[in-house]
Amino acid sequence: MSPAPLLHAIASPADVKSLPAGQLKELCREIRTTLLDYGHTHGGHIGSNLGMVEATVALHRVFDSPHDRIIFDVSHQSYVHKMLTGRALAYLEPQHFGDVTGFTNPDESAHDQFVLGHTGTSISLACGIAKTRNAEIAATGTSGIGNVVAVIGDGSLSSGVAFEGLNNAAEQGGNLIIIFNDNEMSIAGDFGGMYGPLARLRASGGTAQPNLFNAFGLDYRYVEAGNDVDALTAAFEEVRDIDHPVVVHIHTLKGAGYDGEPNSPATPPTTTSTIQTTTTTTTTAHTTQTIAGDASEGIPATANVQHSEPWHSDHCNLSDHEPHEGQCEASHWQNPDASLGKPEDPRKYYGKMAMAALEPRFASEPGLVVISPATPGSNGITHEFRERAGAHYVDTGITESHAVAFAAGIARAGGTPVVATTASFFQRAYDQFFQEMSLNRSRVTVLDFLGGLSGSDNTHSGAYDLAMFANIPQVTMLVPTSGRDFLNDLAWATLPADAKDAPTGSVVIRVPGEGVLAAERDRSLLPITGDRTTEVSELTLGGMLGWRIKQSGSQAALIGLGNTYPLAERAAAALQSEHGITATVIDPKQCTSLDTAVLESLRANHELIITLEDGQLEGGWGEKVTAYYANHWQQAETDETAGNNTAGRSRNPRVLNFGATKEFTDRVPLAELNERYGLTVNSIVEAIIRCF
């Protein structure tokens, strides 16, 4: 760790304000070094924070948080803010790295407004805060809230809700300052027609038309020197206490100060920065500086210049599966050094598998298109794949709603769309899943990554994906339990519309998670299946939607959905070895319809059915099994096949559901969640034995 004496001394934003102006650049230098050290050890969204070092220092220099309210969009760029608001140790001292979350969090600090992990809502949230302040002032002449400042990036601006916010901001009126952090990057590259005009706007020093912000009725200022703390301070001073909404467009450099090789000099292009405004013209002299090993001296950003790779390439997790992957997701995520060489996580592993299966089809299927609303890299949709895919791959920006409607359009025209992103992000497309996709029986394939339980933070949990997808009419949701099944499911879902047995509508495939990948890597976790060829029961509905009986037994049946399937096998093995019970073990393969033939077959000699799922029970899957038996009760006395009480009783097996409580969880390790929810061999075996 570097010494960082200035940063150590900052206990609150007041200390930023009391620093001599001449020390601000030194503070930025310390912050940047701290971020880099932190990133190497802990990982995190380092690139976005490196670009925002100077802007965040200037914000706290000029504004008076928490009286003035600063709302960070998605808050991936809030680390510097945290450092300056009493939480510097959480970045300076490795033993405190776990003290703070990766997002703003009101439970941590009065300077944080919201817990946020999805993009595009900072303007809307800021409008709400400003609205209340306006009302208080109108009613009483005063308010406890001063300036309201929303921070949003150019990538986030592709989100529909951000435009809804922009459109509302000017109409509302009153003080509202929107800091538009333009680093010319989204999570991967920016995508969309607006980025050309934005580039011309930057090139013109903020004077060119069309100006998107003006088109929304907003006042506008431009700061070319978005990594010059003095220029930013001057620009923010100018809009402080402004009486109407204004956009301050700052041109920053994502990953500024990181060259991939800590001690190698890097020389960025030089430029002269100016502050331009469409209402007044204020030109601030800016000394052009060359960065060489010292990355904090006011880093100039450049318009219309391709940033040289070292300046914003990521410190990737180069896995052994794809050793030549050179391009990372543009500083979006920096894995810690310790992660180098570790096995791939399931998202990347199965995502790459899916893309490898689709790619050979591109040549003969012009309508086959993979759509990723941003975040492709996290899901194994590598830069190399994207390059090779050409028009068969579209990154639509951070636009889940558009992505799903777009896919419905492709399907309507006879194409084969595959939409891939993370489960919690798909919440943005809930209405399009209902209307454009399901109601229209659009033949859309959805790849649902990170579905189910994980150790994720509370803004990205996939515990709710089944409740979201599987309760929508006319959706088929598949939950494969192996890479082979996953590929079969993908092949079926993307069959041409006129193919035999093709699905009649949309298909959601939950990409397997840790539980399945661990079992595929260690076959001992599948004691029933072992290495034997899978046998599919004759009892199933047949085809893709029938449940698969992996072991026929009696007394108890274990139905393990998706990632919990290996647990079902292990619990069955323990029942066998510890209690001599040979349980039936079932892989239901999908979660949108019940295989009633299988459920009926279990009545004869099973007293207990166990459902396992690694997601929320309420609104989830297992309770549908419970409800099936409850609503299809067989009276023992009218049952001709019931020879005695026990048999009669078993005609209506009891059902126990294992899964997650309805709650948010924040970075709780998966093993701990499994313990909490009883998703362990011991807990399941005990529950079964208690019933007999």
Q: Which of residues 319-338 bind a second copy (CB under 8 A)?
A: none
- Nearest approach, Cβ of residue 444 and a second copy (Å): 10
Asked if residue 583 lies in contact with residue 555, where contact means CB atoms within 8 angstroms, the answer is yes
**String of DSSP letters for 32-99:** HHHHHHHHHHH-B-HHHHHHTHHHHHHHHHHS-TTTSEEEESTTTT-HHHHIIIIITHHHH-GGGGGG
What is d(CA 91, CA 386) in angstroms, rounded to the nearest whole number?
35
Site string for a second copy, 188-207 (x = CB under 8 A): ---xxxxxxx----------
Identify the H or E element spanning 449. strand 445-449
What is d(CA 474, CA 438) in angstroms, rounded to the nearest whole number?
6
Residue among 26, 15, 25, 40 at smallest CA distance from 91: 40
The answer to the question of residue 639 lying near a second copy (CB under 8 A) is no
Quick one: 337 or 618, whose CB is closer to a second copy? 618
3-state secondary structure of 448: strand
Name which of residues 339 to 368 contact a second copy (CB under 8 A). 366-367
Name which of residues 504 to 543 contact a second copy (CB under 8 A). none
The answer to the question of residue 305 lying near a second copy (CB under 8 A) is no
3-state secondary structure of 352: helix
The answer to the question of residue 389 lying near a second copy (CB under 8 A) is no
Quick one: 119 or 601, whose CB is closer to a second copy? 119
Q: Show the tokens assigned to 584.
A: 């039936």
Identify whether 66 is preceded by a cis peptide bond (ω within 30 of 0).
Answer: yes
Going by the DSSP 8-state scheme, the letter that residue 86 receives in this structure is I
Find residue 440's DSSP bridge partners: none
Q: Looking at 260-268, 405-413, 479-487, 518-526, which segment touches a second copy (CB under 8 A)?
A: 405-413
Name which of residues 550 to 579 contact a second copy (CB under 8 A). none
- Nearest approach, Cβ of residue 666 and a second copy (Å): 10
Q: Show the tokens assigned to 676.
A: 């909490």
Name which of residues 76 to 115 contact a second copy (CB under 8 A). 106, 113-115
What is d(CA 28, CA 42) in angstroms, rounded to the nearest whole number?
20
Site string for a second copy, 204-243 (x = CB under 8 A): -----xxxx-xxxxx-------------------------
Name which of residues 453 to 492 contact a second copy (CB under 8 A). 458-459, 464, 467-468, 470-474
Asked if residue 26 lies in contact with residue 296, where contact means CB atoms within 8 angstroms, the answer is yes
Candidate list 185, 519, 617, 642; residue touching a second copy; CB under 8 A: 617
The answer to the question of residue 689 lying near a second copy (CB under 8 A) is no
What is d(CA 335, CA 346) in angstroms, rounded to the nearest whole number?
16
Asked if residue 677 lies in contact with residue 615, where contact means CB atoms within 8 angstroms, the answer is no
Asked if residue 446 lies in contact with residue 507, where contact means CB atoms within 8 angstroms, the answer is yes
The answer to the question of residue 663 lying near a second copy (CB under 8 A) is yes
Candidate list 6, 145, 152, 231; residue touching a second copy; CB under 8 A: 145
Site string for a second copy, 121-140 (x = CB under 8 A): x--xxxxxxxxxxxxx-xxx
The answer to the question of residue 397 lying near a second copy (CB under 8 A) is yes
The answer to the question of residue 411 lying near a second copy (CB under 8 A) is yes
Q: Give the binding-site size for a second copy (rule: CB under 8 A).
A: 126
Phi first, then psi, for residue 127 (nearest 5°) are -55, -40
Torsion region of 511: left, alpha or beta (phi above 0 gives left; psi -120 to 50 gives alpha): beta
The answer to the question of residue 183 lying near a second copy (CB under 8 A) is no
Name which of residues 440 to 459 contact a second copy (CB under 8 A). 440, 458-459
- Nearest approach, Cβ of residue 639 and a second copy (Å): 15
Q: How many CB atoms lie within 10 A of CB 40?
A: 16
Pairing status of strand 393-395 against strand 548-551: unpaired
Q: Looking at 45-53, 225-233, 348-356, 417-425, which segment touches a second copy (CB under 8 A)?
A: 417-425
Going by the DSSP 8-state scheme, the letter that residue 680 receives in this structure is S
Quick one: 122 or 319, whose CB is closer to a second copy? 122
Quick one: 375 or 551, whose CB is closer to a second copy? 375
The answer to the question of residue 435 lying near a second copy (CB under 8 A) is yes
- Nearest approach, Cβ of residue 92 and a second copy (Å): 28
